[in-house]
Structure 1
Amino acid sequence: MAYWLFKSEPFKWSWEMQKAKAKAGEEWDGIRNYQARNFMRDMKIGDLGFFYHSNEGKEVVGIVEVCKEIHPDSTTDDPRWECVDIKAVKDLPKPVTLADVKATPALAEMALVKSMRLSVQPVRPDEWALVCKMGGL
């Protein structure tokens, strides 16, 4: 299993909106960055990810699961762009802020700190475990 982080601006797609999709999940569409798209190509059903509110809040608020592997992005006819579907799994009891992550030396190399603009990012297993612990899981 691999771990990921999915960033979304809450006014466009919030954690509450993601949870409302329940088990059906939702296409993680609109990604127009090759590196982020390539990360999605590596994802497998059952991989887990953090759901991160960017711009507003700047915090990890929940955990999602990949429920459909890479397929054409329905928001474009351009065949270069693909996406996965994700479904909400659980809330983080205590959201983990970007400030919390940056203040934690063991997370200094996390993509969230190093590649802040990337909307889909890998998360190492040790980073996953630590952020989960910080979030009350």
Structure 2
Amino acid sequence: MSTFRLPRQREALSGFADDFAAWCEAADVPPAVATRFQIAFDELLTNAIAHGAASPEPLLVQLRADAGRLEAEIVDAGPPFDPLAQAAPDTTLALDEREPGGLGLLLVRELIDEVHWHHDGTRNHLRLAHPLSDAPATTG
């Protein structure tokens, strides 16, 4: 398992994107699967930085590729917040009738086969998993 520590700054995301791409290449993660995770990370880490608790602790991203799956866990210090409990946006409404937000999480659920959240008493844990064969996402 590899662990990346990201300062709670938007500027840190581009460096992480480069580190993640290099990690994926070394771990033989297919480019299509790496792209799915990169899009999900961009959404989830941006949200954690923009809306998360003010904490000096960095965000942690733990990665593992084995048993035919890419697994990632984002760990964020702070009060419990389950992004998966948020209502999905009603995409049938006209743009001017919709509430802003929620499309990024909808995209994450569509891209990644498994997405789970729990809070351990001090930190939020968001776990992502997807087959390395890049099968379509089936659950969220």
Larger radius of gyration: 2
For normalisation by structure 2, the TM-score amounts to 0.26
Give the strand-richer structure, 1 or 2.
1
Give the helix-richer structure, 1 or 2.
2
The one of the two structures with greater contact order (alpha-carbon pairs below 8 A, sep at least 6) is 1
